[in-house]
Amino acid sequence: MKRILITGALGQIGSELTLKLREIYGADQVVATDIKKNDSEAAQSGPFETVDVTDIKQMMETAKKYKVDTIMHLAALLSATAEAKPVVAWNLNMGGLMNALETARELKTQFFTPSSIGAFGPCTPKHHTPQDTIMRPTTMYGVNKVAGELLADYYYHKYGVDTRGLRFPGLISYVALPGGGTTDYAVEIYYEAVKHGRYTSYIEKGTFMDMMYMPDALRAIIDLMEADSSRLKHRNAFNVTAMSVAPGDIAASIANYIPGFEMSYRVDPDRQRIAESWPDSIDASAAREEWGFTYEYDLDKMTQDMIEKLREKL
């Protein structure tokens, strides 16, 4: 990677990935794009262009303008929002992805887009979910992600586009607030713990989902993109994870650093239904074997860092 274009650069992943890539490759080498500009560091610290990913002409012209050799396509509606607006989600998530892939094909760039544990469904094995398994999601977001994985594979096999991707679990960060995902509670709980010492979870007690701290997720993206292409067998949908936790596990970890923290439950049936269709834990052995995936943060190490950073921020 030498000159990188990021779509959805002001979202939860993009706002941190943009800064990390600028730190590594140089501020002028990373072009951030999003549907509108804000005053965040990601928007202000280097090149920024307003780009609607459903407009292929706009995307193509921006990529050509900056002569990019890598496209990181992050623009998407997340799981809960996509379920509330399925037609909008299809048009944005799939239309935007197709435009990004066409741009990558035309300009012969390397390409990254994230998938998700949302690509799995209720028929998928719940424990130690394999890299290759049945995938029959029951949400629009999940349908988008499965279709996206297949589409990226198609562009690799038919056109030779160097497509790569990760199936992310829930991502936890103190920098940017989440934007409508089922695992958002795992971010909200830390904010509420630091601000108020209590939290009401919309996910039921005992519901396990995989999670990862954002620094590990960013390193995984960069490591995958820098990996030797000849080693990659799966390319577009590597399972990655750092921990499998339920709301009570996070609450217990927080209580070690904020004594008296209180957790209650008021379950959101829609997001609970989505959570129950996903695995309890996934197997990331293919990522370890093919490009050396590792993670640094377990639950307690993440909790300590989240609380320290949020106390500074808030």
| Rounded Cα gap, residues 68 and 3, in angstroms | 5
Please give the structure tokens belonging to residue 24: 């590594």
Identify which of 131, 104, 99, 91 has the alpha carbon closest to the alpha carbon of residue 115: 131
Please give the structure tokens belonging to residue 1: 């990677």
Catalytic-labelled residue, pool 66, 141, 174, 185: 141
| Rounded Cα gap, residues 122 and 275, in angstroms | 10
Q: If you search the block for the tokens 């799995």, which residue do you land on? A: 120
| Rounded Cα gap, residues 108 and 153, in angstroms | 15
The reply to whether 141 belongs to the active site is: yes
| Rounded Cα gap, residues 168 and 115, in angstroms | 6
**DSSP-based three-state secondary structure for 181:** coil
The answer to whether 162 and 101 are in contact (CB under 8 A) is: no
Catalytic residue ranges: 141
